[in-house]
Amino acid sequence: MLDAVKAGTVEMGHTATYYYFGKDPTFALTCAVPFGMNSRQMNAWWHFGGGREAMAPVFSEYGCVAVPAGNTGCQMGGWFRKEIKSLADLKGLKFRIGGMAGQVMAKIGVVPQLIGGPDIYPALEKGTIDAAEWVGPYDDEKLGFNKVAQYYYYPGFWEAGPVLHALVNEKKWNELPKNYQAALLAACGEANAWMPAKYDADNPVALRRLVGSGTKIRPFPRDVMEAAEKASYEFYAELGAKYPHWKAIYPGWKKFRDEQFLWFRVAEHTYESYAFNSKLGAGK
């Protein structure tokens, strides 16, 4: 899709930019990276943290203008045929996961498999793969993964708030009258607000149905999370030594992320930790 927009074969496309990790891993910073920001924090970085300005030259190299236009919110960690009790259980496990997340998971012993959506179910069913991640309850239920793998893990720490973008051919964008540009920005802004609201409404209902059908939801063990986080930062250091855009943009992104995490720990996290676990609350 990126190539098609660059070439002008299509004038605009809607995509997750981490798919273009192979062209330049810096694209993933605008979508999602392991242990990155949630959807609100990503919006803050793009609009008020210098994200749009930092990434504009990268997209321009590919003949595009990027506009945020959707977010699924934090995703699930995927479906596993067997229970994962420790980091050791991931050694040699064939896991449908790609891009930057796949590179990180490979560092902790997983064998990443890049398989298209329609082919995941039969691969899980036949045992060609041991596990697979897709999106979350609403989307995963439609693909029927609960019928071939009973353990559903969380969180998808590689997709805390994946931003989807409308990529517009830069030449065509510049040809648009200013009021048409404004209309397109407004439409993308509406999509950016609508999509997470839709997922937030539908995921809880779908998860209840999945659990009712026998799905066993499990958190990733702490040693898995710690090993993956350590591997992520090691990987980011490696990228900085190879890719000029990553070296230039990642430090500012990381500084903004760290500030966001400090703030969210104060009000958001404190409130949620209490309210979500309250015996008087309804979230049971």
> Which among 102, 117, 88 is positioned nearest to 158, based on CA atoms?
102
pLDDT of residue 282: 60
The single residue listed with the structure tokens 């082919």 is 119
pLDDT of residue 238: 97
pLDDT of residue 137: 98
Query: Residue 80: beta bridge partners?
Result: 131, 151
What phi-psi label fits residue 92: left (phi over 0), alpha (psi between -120 and 50 degrees) or beta?
left
Question: Can you tell me the distance from the alpha carbon of 8 to that of 252, in angstroms, rounded to the nearest whole number?
Answer: 32
Distance of CA 255 to the CA centre of its chain: 20
Query: Token digits for 13?
Result: 């496309």
pLDDT of residue 284: 55
pLDDT of residue 131: 98
Question: Can you tell me the distance from the alpha carbon of 140 to that of 78, in angstroms, rounded to the nearest whole number?
Answer: 9
The single residue listed with the structure tokens 């003949």 is 63
pLDDT band at 279 (very low <50, low <70, confident <90, very high): confident
Alpha helices in the chain (DSSP H): 2-7, 39-48, 51-61, 99-107, 117-126, 137-143, 170-175, 178-212, 222-242, 244-266, 268-275
The CB density around residue 7, as the number of other CB atoms within 10 Å, is 10
Render pLDDT for 124-161 as a digit per residue (tens, 0 to 9). 999 999 999 999 999 999 999 999 999 999 999 999 99
pLDDT of residue 283: 56
Query: Order of strands across the sheet with 94-96?
Result: 111-113, 94-96, 131-132, 78-80, 151-154, 216-219
* Domains of the chain listed by start with CATH number: 2-73+159-216+249-275 (3.40.190.170), 78-154 (3.40.190.10)
Render pLDDT for 56-65 as a digit per residue (tens, 0 to 9). 999 999 999 9
Query: Residue 67: beta bridge partners?
Result: 166
Long-range contacts of 137-145 (CB under 8 A, 24+ apart): 137/76, 137/202, 137/203, 137/204, 137/206, 137/207, 137/210, 138/199, 138/202, 138/203, 138/206, 140/76, 140/79, 140/206, 140/210, 141/206, 141/209, 141/210, 143/117, 145/79, 145/120, 145/121
Render pLDDT for 172-184 as a digit per residue (tens, 0 to 9). 999 999 999 999 9
pLDDT of residue 228: 98
* DSSP string computed for 79-103: EESS---SGGGGTT-EEE--HHHHH
Whole-model pTM?
0.95
Distance of CA 237 to the CA centre of its chain: 20
What phi-psi label fits residue 221: left (phi over 0), alpha (psi between -120 and 50 degrees) or beta?
beta
pLDDT of residue 280: 85
Is residue 281 pLDDT above 90, yes or no?
A: no
Render pLDDT for 84-133 as a digit per residue (tens, 0 to 9). 999 999 999 999 998 899 999 999 999 999 998 899 999 999 999 999 99
Render pLDDT for 223-270 as a digit per residue (tens, 0 to 9). 999 999 999 999 999 999 999 999 999 999 999 999 999 999 999 999
Structural contact between residues 238 and 102, judged by C-beta atoms closer than 8 angstroms: no
